[in-house]
Structure 1
């Protein structure tokens, strides 16, 4: 294993390494205004949800690595502590990228990116009409993490109103993960897309208690076929099935096919043959 000390890398090298490794990251399209009412729109991938009660999200307009300057978004929220955060999906990802251009302060990125401003209900910054979800937020705190290039500035926001485009709802009125088609930021120029071709479900053991790796039979645990993911699925049952388990690799391969389709019960039945 290669071991690296952050102190041995320059700012750009460290940023590149971390942004590539810590990914995918959701994208916040931040709409802000300054004290004079100038509008700004900019995307940030240092962003996530940190609380649901109260509903709190955090994004970080970091100081620029190359020259240690700050972004208009940071300057705006310090003057007007409000922000609208638009959630980004594949349908508008190229426009979002355009909004990241470092235009002069008086330039409206809504106009440059072709996105549509819409009046918010509770805050001064504008909603982004094309975003599947808009979060109206009040800024609770801006926490500065440093003074050098690359230092983050945590903009801690409480969500006070949520707007959802109805086309992204399912029949029960909830947000549909497949319809959303969200995109996320990776390292360099890379993005990822969360659509039906790469989404998958993993049952969460929140109420149930899986038996765990340690209670798997040796014939299963030390199989040359099963991967760590396969064993994790098999170990996520509450009770080990009764019977004798087949040690044959051909049987394990057959069971693995069921696991690839998340059919855990069928996999165990196969192993009992």
Structure 2
């Protein structure tokens, strides 16, 4: 997904549906077909997660199923999910986290980590709840409820965990953690010009981008509040091209979360 074809195909399929463009859909599906054989004819991703692993490709294949109704895409999505799950292991506290290649650690995050794998598993579960990979969801979501997060961002921080948990089945523990993550993001915001910005990667600078800064935080807060998503992900409600944006508010009490 990061810098690759899967993101291009996701956007193509999303725009094709929004604008009823069959040519654009054909292009998106052609890329998805190409990626379906990536693991057989090339090395493929070496990490697990939404941006750096097979989970992004899994999400693409689920979206392809939603656009075509062809069950072969669910089979391909399941294959991609299994590849990322093979890079996850159960930690000492019982959570299922993704290994970080080259480092003696596991990660719970969205871009690289179990939150990204959980996002893919949740999407597949909506259409194939009996898939073997879906059984890993409790452990993956438990990792998203981790009690210690340093960064506010979407890729490797609190916002990514919040985005994933917002799509999980509701329960009191998940709601409590989402409130805590929302408040944490607010505490990590600081004045920036006429507004605010959150601390970026390693908190060395303020950031407004999608991966590490404000834009990603807003996407997570929108998901937390039940707003239609602008992300081209399967199962998400999208705004029409002419729909006006409603007010975005959060349920947390931290500074900078509105």
The normalised TM-score by structure 2 is 0.24
Greater relative CO, 1 or 2 (CA 8 Å, sep 6+): 1
Larger helix proportion of the pair = 2
Which has a greater percent of strand?
1
